[in-house]
Amino acid sequence: MGKQKPLVVVSGSSKGSRSAWQASRILLGIHGAQSRFVHPNNWSEEISMDGLLLLGGVDIDPALYGGKPHPSIMRIEPERDHMELQLLQYAKRENLPVMGICRGMQMINLSYGGTLLPHIGDLELDFVHHKTLFPMKRVNVIDGTRLHAIFDSHRVKVNALHHQTVERLGVGLRKAAHDRNGIIQAIEHNEVPFVMGVQWHPEFMPYMWHTQRLFDAFVRAARV
């Protein structure tokens, strides 16, 4: 029998993650999970959890993926980068479910050896990349992926708050969704049952059916 109230560790910044943490805590609770928020000032390597949720936030240090400083990168948080890479290593060792949101998806990719595109604005795009807190961006979900099995749909509308994205996929990862420009919007592991990241912010869209399905699937995986 699975765990009745799995414990999900939610990682974020010591500053600036409060709204995302509160929104995620509510969604996790709705679907039956306990949650604990960790940040660089309160975390410990001696940690216990049944699942890991990585929140969005400031840009990742480009040195971690062999990148160069970019004028669009205004602020980084190396202490958080270090913490989340340690948490991801723990989750890998224990075969725990992991979900990444925006920056969190990018951290998952880096932990498997992938790289990031530092600024989408450097690309020549067929369609303008708009930032929006509301679900106005159409994303195509790839058939045969775990994400498609969760949504049972080839298309969802999401928000967009990012200016970076996955460039080269990490070892064992695959693209699960993309936008009209072909930019990766979701990734997942080929073999591990639940290692998944989305480039949008589902925690700020609790009213969308696909947000509820995503959090439900994550908590179900944490119960095993």
Among 77, 84, 188, 203, the active-site one is 203
Per-residue HEC secondary structure of the chain comes to CCCCCCEEEEECCCCCCHHHHHHHHHHHHHCCCEEEEECCCCCCCCCCCCEEEECCCCECCHHHHCCCCCCCCCCECHHHHHHHHHHHHHHHHHCCCEEEECHHHHHHHHHCCCCEECCHHHCCCCCCCCCEEEEEEEEEECCCCHHHHHHCCCEEEEEECCCCEECCCCCCEEEEEECCCCCEEEEEECCCCCEEEECCCHHHCCCCHHHHHHHHHHHHHHHC
Nearest by Cα to 134 from 208, 49, 30, 194:
208
Which of these is catalytic: 102, 162, 163, 188? 102
Rounded Cα–Cα distance for residues 107 and 99 (Å)? 10
To the query of whether residue 203 is one of the catalytic residues in this protein, the response is yes
Looking at 31, 39, 163, 201, which residue is catalytic?
A: 201
Question: Strand 173-178 vs strand 132-141: parallel, antiparallel, or unpaired?
Answer: antiparallel
Alpha-carbon distance of 87 to 91, in angstroms, equals: 6
The residues carrying an active-site annotation are 102, 201, 203
